Each structure stands twice: as structure tokens, then as C-alpha cells.
Structure 1
Amino acid sequence: MTETITVLLVDEDQDILDITATFLEREDEALDVLPVTETATALETVQEQPERVDCVISDYSMPEMTGVEFFQSVREVDPDVPFFFFTGRDRQQIEAELGEQSVTGYVQKGTGTERYADLATEIRDAVDA
């Protein structure tokens, strides 16, 4: 039996959450996606149950805080959890805002399903590392 990898997926758009969760779980049966629309709820999950979260995937543009602010808050609780941005935002713009900090990876939102296969592989690799 494959060990379950719990992925905290954060995006304010419920449709994107549903599609992303479905495709990721299809790509890798070990992935258990926990979709959350609010960064406060997601951060609470990381703070109260850090052992439950094996990986975090976040959009950049959200109403309560930016993805970078959310990333920094997650890093204060768990500096080692793999963290990916799944966003339409330009990677260089996010990297400039991150400065010296770095995330595990970036995946560009858009059409096509191959991005989910790539993201599932990157999640598996990051968690296994």
C-alpha cells in the first residue's frame, strides 16, 4: 500500500480547487488533496496539525494575503514543508518579492492537463526527498 501524501491546496476559486484536486488525485493515488479557499483556514491547519500536511500548494493572488505572505507564514510554522505556487502570476515577479527565500516549485495555471502530471511528480519528489 502506498503512503498517503496530504496536500494542502489553497486558492480562492472553488472551481480551480475542484479541478486541481481531481487531476492530482488521478495522477497519483497516494495524493490526498485538502482544498481550502481561505488562507486563514489553511494557516490554521498548518499551525494546529503540521504533521497532517506533507505539502502546500498555493495561488499567489488571494483576498486575505498574497501567496508570498502566506508562504512566509507557513515557513514560520514549518520551514521544511514543500511549498509550490500554482498561479497565473509571472515567476520572476514572485521570485523578486521572495528575495532570498525560495519555494519548492512553480506551476503555471492554464489550459491542458499535463501540468497536473508534472505537479504530481514534483510533489512526490519533494516529499520523498
Structure 2
Amino acid sequence: MTQSIRVLHVDDDSSIADLTAAFLQREDDRFTVETATNADKGLGIIRNHPPDCVVSDYEMPGLNGIEFLQAVREQYPDLPFILYTGKGSETVASDAIAADVTDYLQKSSGSEQYELLANRIRNAVHARREAERADRQEQLMRLTEF
């Protein structure tokens, strides 16, 4: 049985958020995508029911995508976070890397971008789940050594 993947997509343009959610869910039936139109709403959703991956725009009112990432990292340091933005620049990418972003993807035209985004989400979630599984195995090994 394959595990579902809960994705939170935060974008101040609700039509883009809804379109992205629809394409992602069509791309992979394991995806359940919830949307929020700003970082504060996104943080509330994360606190109530942490997703498997966050996808966020950069330019938003209130907290921008990097500030949102930093707020998420304070409580959820290992939660996969993909900055998915139309405002691509070396400065934004550098700031995102410094803030420990999982992945960075620039929005483009065409439906191929959603296939790429879906792949990045799957890879990020898989890597986190494998790391968690390895941590549990290591803890079990330590317990059985006594």
C-alpha cells in the first residue's frame, strides 16, 4: 500500500493555488493538497495538522516565502519545504538555501512545471520518511544493545 502525501500550498493568488492543487492531485493520486493564501494561515494549518510537504510562493503580503520558511523551521526543522516562485533571482535562491529550503523551483508556463513540482515533492517526502525510518531503526538498535 502506498502512503498518501499531504501537501500544503501557500500562495497569495488563490487561483494559482487552486490550479496548482488540481494539477498536483491529477499528477499523483496519493497527493492531498490543502491551500492557504498567506503564511499566517499556512502556519495555523501546520500547527493543527502538519503536512508531509509545504510548497510556498515567495512574494506574499505579510511574511514572504523566506520568512515563512524560517517560521516553519523554528518548529518543524525537518519538514520538507519547497519554494515555488515566479520571482526567481540569485538573491532569493541564496536566501532560501541559507534558510534551509528543501528545494527551489521557479514557476513557468505550461503543465510540465506541475510534473516537475510533483516529482520534487515525492522526492522530498520520500527522503524525509527514509530518514525517519533510519532514525527509528537506530533507536531500536540502541535499545536492544542493553
Q: Residues 28-67 of structure 1: matches in 2 within 5 Å?
A: 28-50=28-50, 53-67=51-65
* Structure 1 vs Structure 2 CA RMSD: 1.4
Q: Residues 1-129 of structure 1: matches in 2 within 5 Å?
A: 1-50=1-50, 53-98=51-96, 100-129=98-127
Whose helix fraction is larger, Structure 1's or Structure 2's? 2
One-letter amino acid of the counterpart of residue 4, structure 1: S
Over 3 Å counting, the alpha-carbon distance change for 1:32 and 1:75 in structure 2 is: same
Q: CA deviation at 1:4?
A: 1.1
Q: Which has the higher contact order (CA 8 A, sep 6+)?
A: 1
Larger radius of gyration: 2
Q: CA deviation at 1:91?
A: 4.3
CA distance in 2, matches of 1:67, 1:83: 10
Over 3 Å counting, the alpha-carbon distance change for 1:120 and 1:98 in structure 2 is: closer
Q: Which runs of 5+ in 1 are unaligned?
A: none
Moved more, 88-97 or 108-117: 88-97
Q: CA deviation at 1:99?
A: 6.2
Q: CA deviation at 1:121?
A: 1.0
Q: Which runs of 5+ in 2 are unaligned?
A: 128-146
Helix, strand or coil for the counterpart of 2:40?
helix
Over 3 Å counting, the alpha-carbon distance change for 1:100 and 1:8 in structure 2 is: same
Moved more, 71-80 or 107-116: 107-116
Aligned residues: 127
Mapped contact 1:91–1:106 kept (Cα < 8 A): no
Q: CA deviation at 1:45?
A: 1.5
Q: CA deviation at 1:14?
A: 0.8
One-letter amino acid of the counterpart of residue 38, structure 2: E
One-letter amino acid of the counterpart of residue 18, structure 2: D
Q: CA deviation at 1:2?
A: 2.7
Q: CA deviation at 1:41?
A: 1.1
TM-score by length of 2: 0.81
Over 3 Å counting, the alpha-carbon distance change for 1:123 and 1:67 in structure 2 is: same
